[in-house]
Amino acid sequence: MRWLQLQTSKKVGLIPWSVVAQGAEAVRAKARELEREGVGMALVDAITDGDMARIAEAFVDSALVTGGSRLAVHLPRCWGCGAERGGEHAPTAGRTLILSRSCSRATLEQLEALRAAGAQVLPYTAAREVEAALERDGFAALSSSAAPRHGRRGRAGD
């Protein structure tokens, strides 16, 4: 937590594994407690894939959830659009912003699919362009993802 705290002015808190192991409702309760304490950003401990499923369930209605791909694997089920709908999330109503920082092959393919569908994929530094795209189209993807250079492929932590 201390490294994240050094990078933000928001108070950073922790939802420990002992809470995660108790289930999604316990995680939600701890998150509410941290929010009352002024915490603006929380790290959530996980050990197993089941922990990731409980975390996804706990934060399914949150406006912003970040995490690794194992967390993302569980979100479609929580949104009610799992295998019965091909694992695709239904489009949102209103404006949508996607943040991407990975340079993995899968992420680059997803970004290319967005471009092919007509979405603007802009670098993080393009704040004005993002605002214009959201206003005009209601959708933008903001990305620092880039194709690996010199044959280097994306790896965990990139």
Q: Flag whether pLDDT at 152 surpasses 70.
A: no
Spatial separation of the C-alpha atoms in residues 117 and 115, rounded to whole Å: 5
Judge whether 57 and 74 are in contact, CB under 8 Å.
Answer: yes
- Residue 22: the pLDDT is 97
Q: Flag whether pLDDT at 111 surpasses 80.
A: yes
Q: Flag whether pLDDT at 83 surpasses 50.
A: no
- In this structure, the chain runs to a length of 158
Please state the domain extents for the chain: 2-85, 96-143
The b-or-e profile of 121-136 (16+ CB within 10 A means b, else e) is bbeeebeeebeebbee
Task: For residue range 118-142, list pLDDT tens digits in order.
Answer: 877 776 656 667 667 767 776 666 5
Highest mean pLDDT among 11-15, 103-107, 114-118, 125-129: 11-15
Closest CA to 28 of 76, 65, 80, 70: 65
Half-sphere exposure of 29 (CA within 13 A, CB side): 7
Average pLDDT, stretch 60-69? 79
- Residue 141: the pLDDT is 63
pTM exceeds cut of 0.75:
no
Task: For residue range 33-64, list pLDDT tens digits in order.
Answer: 999 999 998 999 999 999 999 999 998 888 77
Handedness of CA 130, 131, 133, 138 (dihedral sign): positive
Spatial separation of the C-alpha atoms in residues 83 and 73, rounded to whole Å: 11
